[in-house]
Amino acid sequence: MDIQNYTIEQLEELAGKIREKILNTVSKNGGHLSSTLGAVDLIVAMHYVFDVNKDPFIFDVSHQAYAHKLLTDRWDSFDTLRQFGGLCGYTSPDESEFDYYKAGHSSTSISVAVGAAKAIALKGEDRIPVAFIGDGSMSAGMVYEALNELGDRKYPVVIVLNDNEMSIAKPIGAVSRYLSKSMASPFYQKFKKRVESILEHMPDATMYMAKRLEDSIKLITPGLLFEELGIEYIGPIRGHNLEGIIDALKIAKELKKPVVVHAQTIKGKGYEIAEGPQEHWHGVGPFDIKSGKSLKKASSKKSATQIYGDKLLELAKQNKKVVGVTAAMPGGTGLTKLLEEFPKRFWDVAIAEQHAVTSMGPLAKEGFRPYCTIYSTFLQRGYDQVIHDIALMNLGVVFAMDRAGIVGEDGETHQGAFDISFLRAIPNMTLAAPFNESSFNNLLDFSLDFNTPLAIRYPRGSFIADDFDTPKFEYGKSHLIEDGEEILFVGYGNGVGRAIDSKKLLKSKNPAILDLRFVKPLDEEALSKLAKKFKKWYIFSDSAYSGGVASAILEFFAKSGIEDVEIESFEYPDKFIPHGATAEVEKYLGIMPEQIADKINKMESK
């Protein structure tokens, strides 16, 4: 959409239409709401000042880029947002040439912008990368690694800092607003250049005094950090004043330097019910626009997250050594109550997964029982820390990995497919998984006295299997849930429920069902005995096949010389898994119980 010739009034009208379109679509499909509504004016201004046809628009996390999608030829298809086969909830070059980079995790945008700026410089082109980043993403170390180089190399990069609840400017109130208004004007930028030129030619003594004055001014401005890193700073500006945003972006563009444009916005802008820093409205399911009430029917089963939060709270009340951390996801990981009840023992460290992991190591070393509660996909970001700072020291940190398996509409950047594969290779690491509420409670009881690294995976939403009593966990021991004949179903975690449901649909076979419980270490004694009785094994695990559960069992067979057992796995194929409703994605993968039963019926009838 070409908006370069629009008037301010036309741009404001367009921003209103975009908000209406986002609100109507998200209320039906679900998605990210408050952050993307708050970003509309900034994105409209970006498209007005910069040329999206040549300038890389790089969105951090990119869940707030819905306005960008609507401005780049996706208005008519926007109703398919986050649906299987429809538009992705994040930027994706596969979807549009105007999406420069894929992003679903935070704090990558400035690094990508620096890389793009290097390529542009080498090619001698007149293009400017524009990185759009939220204040929450500024807590991750990768941001400062990129800023550090950018401030040194001085590549022309414009960073739009969308500040919707950050305290960077609050302590300085009216003074900050006055200085920021001045700094966003052409006069201030010219004045600053003039001062810098004069300082270069001043005698040392005079220059010292002038420099002290300049530093004093910086100390009462929110741009101190950026200025000290060698990056120009404009702001904070009002993030919903289109004329002011456009003026600031034009100045930033003309400077031909790295510049941060700091804009203060309101989450949920334009939809009063969602306005403000309310975690609930960050990501939502379908809801009624008038009342704001969810249209999603509440499940009669407790979610795995609820089970975990309730049990950990119980353990924390019983044992003062129980401590824990999450990285900006207290509600999503079930830790909200623990943070409220034990604020000195449970911490939210913001978007800083590496720090979250490493910080739990010393607590384990000092005799505490730390629980690092994190989504499977986000633990990927702390992988080196898991190896270097926890496993290498053989410290008793429990990694509670929520969202293991298919996560649905968030798609390929968020699917919890790889944790078994990347953790199984680490020495000293134990991997275990529950399949219902009883087994989860038993596993958490087991974890309380476990003194080496332990990773527990569990799904988004409810377990597939119904709840029934299960025995206590013993280290490295599996549990045969049902005996049977001829074939064996081996389930790990939520895969046990998939195995149980698939068995119900078989025509003639009566498979035994094994709850593997541990994929590292394997219950080699039990597996050896079962290999003598069952010559056809089917593996059920909501995880990647490569390096997964079947791989672990096949490695054991090779080591033990077991050659007469045939294995068929229903784990995920070696590809990134698209977005869509969980049931639709699982159907696409061919792992719905009826699909599995049909395959087994055909194979066993041959």
Catalytic-labelled residue, pool 353, 437, 571, 584: 353
Q: What is the pLDDT of residues 89-109, one digit of tens each?
A: 999 999 999 999 999 999 999
Strand-pair category, 157-163 with 258-264: parallel
- Whether residue 304 is predicted with pLDDT greater than 90 in this model: the reply is yes
Annotation marks residue 381 as catalytic? yes
Taken as a whole, the chain contains a residue count of 606
CATH superfamily, region 8-184+223-275: Thiamin diphosphate (ThDP)-binding fold, Pyr/PP domains (3.40.50.970)
Annotation marks residue 153 as catalytic? no
What residues contact 586, with CB distance under 8 A and at least 6 apart? 406, 592
Catalytic-labelled residue, pool 19, 127, 311, 381: 381
The pLDDT confidence band at residue 135, using thresholds 50, 70 and 90, is confident
- The region of weakest confidence among 10-24, 281-295, 542-556, 570-584 is 281-295
Q: What one-character DSSP code corresponds to residue 171?
A: G
Annotation marks residue 228 as catalytic? no
The pLDDT confidence band at residue 169, using thresholds 50, 70 and 90, is very low
Catalytic-labelled residue, pool 102, 127, 238, 267: 267
Q: What one-character DSSP code corresponds to residue 391?
A: I
- The region of weakest confidence among 141-150, 177-186, 424-433, 482-491 is 177-186
pTM: 0.88
**Using CA atoms, how far apart are residues 44 and 14, in angstroms rounded to an integer?**
8
Number of other CB atoms surrounding residue 277 within 10 Å: 13
- Whether residue 585 is predicted with pLDDT greater than 90 in this model: the reply is yes
The token pair that represents 320 in the structure block: 């003062």
Instruction: List the one residue out of 255, 250, 234 whose CA is nearest residue 169.
Output: 234
**Using CA atoms, how far apart are residues 543 and 532, in angstroms rounded to an integer?**
27
C-alpha dihedral (195, 196, 202, 207), degrees to nearest 10? 90
**Using CA atoms, how far apart are residues 238 and 413, in angstroms rounded to an integer?**
32
The pLDDT confidence band at residue 227, using thresholds 50, 70 and 90, is confident
